[in-house]
Amino acid sequence: MQNLQFKPQETPIGALRNALHAWRQRERWSMETLATVVVEHYYASGFDRVWLVEFQQPGRGSDAARVMKTNAERLGRWLDDQTKDCTLLPFNLLPVLLSALPADLRLQCAVELLLPVGLDVSLRAGEAVQASHASVLACLAKEAGEGLAAFALLADQMGPHELKQALVELEESSQAHFRALGHIRALLDVGD
């Protein structure tokens, strides 16, 4: 079997956490608002009929702010794989969170999750991909520039630290190029 050239930079939960954080920042939402949107998506999409996840729901006599806070704390615990290794995200919740994300962040996260195992990802025709062009371009420019700069610095010094740093930066650049390729493929599929 051929060695994969891409090495993951993040855990699967970390990749999902980063995508949710980017979405939250983009929308200027609190963690409570993000959790509410995810919970609403869980029930609206019918995921609750496939597997049960215990979310709090506002109802008569319940404090809506407390419900939002409880769901935000639960989601935060599930996504925290940096300070603990128990009570992590239930695997069955992965499709819920991915499908709740906007198309560009869903694509980016899915690429990060599946590229290390040799799978490519693209959006199906009809998905809103035009809005993601700017974010894909910004990521590509940033990562390609950092990769090129790290490689250029090897001309001055080529020690183990510099070589490892250049390798990391070039792998991140490669990942950004794969995302751009996936974006172009998705646009071509929409055009067909």
d(CA 151, CA 5): 17
If you average pLDDT over residues 43-65, what whole number do you get? Answer: 84
Position with higher pLDDT, 180 vs 190: 180
d(CA 183, CA 140): 11
Whether the Cβ atoms of residue 86 and residue 77 lie closer than 8 Å to each other: no
Other C-beta atoms lying within 10 Å of the C-beta of residue 92: 12
Instruction: Quote the pTM value.
Output: 0.62
pLDDT at 132: 66
Tell me the pLDDT tens digit for each residue of 146-162.
888 889 999 999 888 88
pLDDT at 161: 84
Tell me the pLDDT tens digit for each residue of 119-147.
877 766 555 555 467 777 877 888 888 88
The closest alpha carbon to 79, from 1, 11, 179, 5, belongs to 11
CA 72 to each of CA 6, 33, 39, 67: distance values in angstroms, whole numbers, following the listed order: 33, 8, 10, 9
> Quick one: what percent of the chain has pLDDT higher than 90?
27
pLDDT at 184: 82
